Chains A and B, each alone.
Chain A
Amino acid sequence: MASLLRPSILRPACPSSAASQRMLSTFTSSSVKRTSPFAQQLVRPAFERSTIPQPTRIAAFHATQKMQILPPLPQTIQGTLNDPVPVPEPSPTHGSYHWSFERVISAGLIPLTVAPFAAGSLNPVMDSALCALLVIHSHIGFEACIVDYFPTKRVPLVRKGCTWLLRIATVTLGVALYSFETNDVGITEAITKLWKA
């Protein structure tokens, strides 16, 4: 241990070598004169520095950063490790009733879709019912996509924006289909005509 220190003390005062200049350059202040006796005691001797190998290039931690699908989210704990998981408020409107409603709509779409094309006849009431159920079914489907892909904790504004955009679009679609039904032939007839065109 002492051998490491003695050569630096015994080295005669000299104009700064390359080693001492490199060492001193790490100090942000340039107020220390390079030839001061104290500065020499702080630097490593030249021979010692040359025996230390150059630090090897540090490899990147993982090589496929660019191809990452779904990169990790910020890994922070809300609160402390001992806090229980927050349990959402039970709400049948958004829970079981919503589920049942969704299935009733989906099931109701089946006869309404098959009947006009199977029977070949047109009934405006049936057509309107089909349009209404289609609008609601599509809205619920898109809502499920938004809920799945835009969690509030990660992207609160995107989630809110998309939800409102979907609501506006659904209302617009409702108005459009009503107008199409009233002023034009209705979607079953339109599809039949376009298919056979």
Chain B
Amino acid sequence: MASQRIFQLGLRRMATPGFSKMQPAGRMVQRRLAGNMAAQEKEILVKQRLHRPVSPHISIYRPQITWYASGLNRVTGVILSGSLYLFGIAYLAAPALGWHLETQSMVAAVAAWPAFVKVGLKAFFAFPFFFHSFNGLRHLAWDFGVGFANKTVIRSGWTAVGLTVASALYYTLF
């Protein structure tokens, strides 16, 4: 009954002039031949996956001395080595650029700076240096298989932080 009607409608639709030229809903249709169906579907699937929501991960992980210390170890290492690399490259480039980076000129310049700048810079280098050193000792202990119990890790982590603060303050201020 209805299927007959639809069939007849289909026949009449085919009879209209210009039937083959008409495309339904022009904007969103893709040409789908038997050959490239699988590839097209895979493409759509890949694009869909990119839009799926991602569960929060590092934004919700509980702060712990384990991964904070590990991250800080890397950050302090990059600060110290980065400064060394920058100084080295600047030292080689200085004659060409007209700068004076010999010890004499540097010491003279630093001596002329106000106290809070000197203290600030010393702290800027002391804290990373001591933290990286003490945490490095922790790492070397782990490399010998020592100190892997969770409690030990937490204790050694906070010990390293404490030693860092103490040493850095001492060497910055005295």
Binding site for B on A (CB under 8 A): 1-2, 4-5, 26-29, 31-32, 36, 38-39, 41-42, 61-62, 64, 68-72, 74-76, 103, 106-107, 110, 113, 134, 137-138, 141-142, 145, 169-170, 172-173, 175-177, 179-180, 184-185, 189-190, 193-195, 197
Minimal beta-carbon separation of B14 from chain A (angstroms): 10
Residues of the B chain whose Cβ atoms lie less than 8 Å from the Cβ of A32: 16-18, 22
User: Given the complex, which residues of B lie within 8 Å of A76, measured CB to CB?
Assistant: 42, 46
Q: Is the CB of A2 within 8 A of B5?
A: yes
B1-40: contact bitstring with A at CB < 8 Å (1 yes, 0 no)? 1100110010011011110011111100000000000000
Q: Are B52 and A61 in contact (CB under 8 A)?
A: yes
A31-B21, A38-B13, A180-B91 known; A190-B103 Cβ under 8 A: yes
**In the complex, A64→B60 CA distance in Å?**
15
Q: Are B107 and A193 in contact (CB under 8 A)?
A: yes
Task: Point out residues on B near A: beta carbons under 8 Å.
Answer: 1-2, 5-6, 9, 12-13, 15-18, 21-26, 42, 46, 49-54, 57-59, 74, 77-78, 80-81, 84-85, 87-89, 91-92, 102-103, 106-107, 110-111, 118, 122, 133, 136-137, 139-140, 143, 171
- With contacts A113-B133, A189-B103, A197-B107 known, is A61 near B77, CB below 8 A? no
Cα-based distance from A170 to B82 in the complex (angstroms): 11
Smallest CB separation, B51 vs chain A (Å): 6
Give chain A's interface secondary structure class: helix
Q: Which of B23, B50, B53, B106 is close to A27, meaning CB atoms less than 8 Å apart?
A: B23
Task: Please indicate the chain B residues that have their CB under 8 angstroms from the CB of A145 in the complex.
Answer: 74, 78
